[in-house]
Amino acid sequence: MRVLNFNAGPATLPLSALELARDELLDFGGTGMSIMEHSHRGKDFEAVHAETKSLMREIIGVPDTHEILFVQGGASQLFAQIPMNFAHVGKCADYVVTGAWGEKAVSEAKVVAKMLNTTTHVAASTGEGDGKEKQYHRVPEDAEIKPDAAAAYLHYTSNETIHGVEFHRIPSAGNAPLICDASSDFIWKKVDISKFALVYAGAQKNVGPSGIVVVLARKDFIAQGRTDIPKIFQLRTVAENDSLYNTPPTFAIYLIRNVMRWIKTEGGLEAMEKKNREKAKLVYDALDAHAGFYRLPVEKASRSVMNVIFNLPNEGLEEKFLGEAKKRKMVGLKGHRSVGGMRASLYNAVPVEWAKALAELIADFAKQNG
Ligand code: PMP
């Protein structure tokens, strides 16, 4: 029996994408073997790879100016790889920090800056407090973002998966090329990709399984990347070899294809956005209706449509809430270990019915325990 899975990532995948993988697992397209057993340079995998990219280009509306790349190592590797490629000597790498993932990106950029003789600058941070107590409740206004005049790029995290803080606009980067970690809010609504030098997203939320990152990057920006770093880390190498410089995670790319087919069948990003907004409204409305019982740390204007963060009055009640959720076949609602509390992730593949069931649990639990 499949459960109502609210995991933050790896997260629930569309059932049809998994069923297709099951049906094709032992014999892909009559070839007598799994897609996993095919050469990454053979025509069968080539067709899968091409279909995945072309569906993604169509669904997102990726302009011809931008490459679609698949990179290994997770979004965490990109935290290091981006400054390695694009923080040029004498220039500064700018960061807007709105949560834990932005912090990690800055921290890796600082290590790279030491190695490569560049600098790192926090152009804005909405963190309040220090160390383990640090909290993030909102995204900054454009006026709060102070880009360095010599910035090689400005990096921000469009959705902070742990803190539930989401940008509902593209922030102003001044003249600097804009780079976005969109790991947890990728491909759920129309976004003008032409505004970005580079967008990257770890796949394990809205796109597919873990271990692979989708990178959308302007061709001329990739070409300007540094050449004094190992070839394997240069995004130029990935682009020049159509993500096949070395052996890619072929099964992950195949599963992304299945997910892209599902998004297209469902009606593309318009349908995804409508459903996602409906789910988020159901859950936030249920929480707001019992605002004296539940505490929502994120300011309304910055609330994430993907990751709903909330607290109960004490840890005992949080445990009880999770127990009640389990009885109703709901899993994945425990908040990230660094911040505690609850987190409900409502990515594309979460059906509206699950959000309704969660809203019911939220209401029932407050009535019984409030
Ligand atoms: N950025 C964001 C916004 C994330 O949510 C995550 C993972 N949850 C990462 C980066 C890191 O991804 P990975 O674990 O694939 O390296």
Residue 183 lies in a domain: yes
53 is catalytic: no
Residue 163 lies in a domain: yes
Q: Which amino acid is at 114?
A: K
Choose the final residue of a domain: 264, 280, 310: 264
One domain for residues 175 and 105: yes
Return contacts of 281-284, CB within 8 angstroms, 24+ apart. 282/352, 282/355, 282/356, 282/358, 282/359, 283/308, 283/344, 283/346, 283/355, 283/358, 283/359, 283/362, 284/308
Q: Which residues of the chain have pLDDT under 50?
A: none
Q: What is the number of structural domains in the chain?
A: 2
- The per-residue pLDDT for 174 is 84
Whether cis (ω within 30° of 0) applies to the bond prior to 147 is: no
Residue 35, number of CB atoms within 10 A of its CB: 21
C-beta of 297 in contact with ligand 1 (< 6 A):
no
- The CATH number given to whatever domain includes residue 332 is 3.90.1150.10
Ligand 1 atom nearest residue 204's Cα:
15
Residue 109, number of CB atoms within 10 A of its CB: 24
181 is catalytic: yes
Residue 319 lies in a domain: yes
Tell the burial category of 117 from Cβ atoms under 10 Å away from its Cβ (0-12, 13-18, 19+). Answer: exposed
Ligand 1 centroid, distance to 364 Cα (angstroms):
33
Choice from 70, 76, 97 to test ligand 1 binding pocket (greatest atom count within 8 A of CB): 76
Interstrand relation of 159-160 and 165-166 (parallel, antiparallel or unpaired):
antiparallel
One domain for residues 177 and 283: no
One domain for residues 249 and 108: yes
One domain for residues 362 and 316: yes
Q: Which residues pair with 166 in a beta bridge?
A: 159
- The per-residue pLDDT for 133 is 74
Choose the final residue of a domain: 234, 264, 294: 264
Measured CA to CA, the distance from residue 345 to residue 191 in angstroms comes to 20
Ligand 1 centroid, distance to 100 Cα (angstroms):
10
C-beta of 183 in contact with ligand 1 (< 6 A):
yes
Residue 357, number of CB atoms within 10 A of its CB: 17
Q: CB neighbours of 351 closer than 8 A, spacing ≥ 6?
A: none
Residue 4 lies in a domain: no
Residue 174 lies in a domain: yes
One domain for residues 286 and 199: no
Ligand 1 atom nearest residue 78's Cα:
16
262 is catalytic: no
- The per-residue pLDDT for 131 is 74
C-beta of 369 in contact with ligand 1 (< 6 A):
no
One domain for residues 164 and 147: yes
Whether 343 contacts 160, CB under 8 Å: no
Find the catalytic residue in 101, 188, 262, 354. Answer: 101
One domain for residues 45 and 123: yes
One domain for residues 164 and 230: yes
Residue 310, number of CB atoms within 10 A of its CB: 24
Domain span at residue 277 reads: 267-369
State phi, psi for 300 to the nearest 5 degrees: -50, -45
One domain for residues 247 and 284: no
Residue 25 lies in a domain: yes
One domain for residues 259 and 272: no
Choose the final residue of a domain: 244, 264, 284: 264
Residue 109 lies in a domain: yes
**Selection from 81, 94, 243, 227 nearest residue 171 by Cα:** 94
Residue 243 lies in a domain: yes
One domain for residues 308 and 200: no
For ligand 1, atom 14, the nearest C-alpha belongs to 74
Q: Per residue in 277-308, pLDDT tens?
A: 999 999 999 999 999 999 999 999 999 999 99
Whether 22 contacts 224, CB under 8 Å: no
Measured CA to CA, the distance from residue 203 to residue 51 in angstroms comes to 17
Burial 192-214 (b: 16+ CB within 10 A, else e): ebeebbbbbbbbbbbbbbbebbb
One domain for residues 184 and 99: yes
- The per-residue pLDDT for 307 is 98
Residue appearing with tokens 């709060």: 144
- The CATH number given to whatever domain includes residue 219 is 3.40.640.10
C-beta of 158 in contact with ligand 1 (< 6 A):
no
Whether 157 contacts 200, CB under 8 Å: no
Give me 151's structure tokens.
């910035």
Q: Which residues pair with 15 in a beta bridge?
A: none
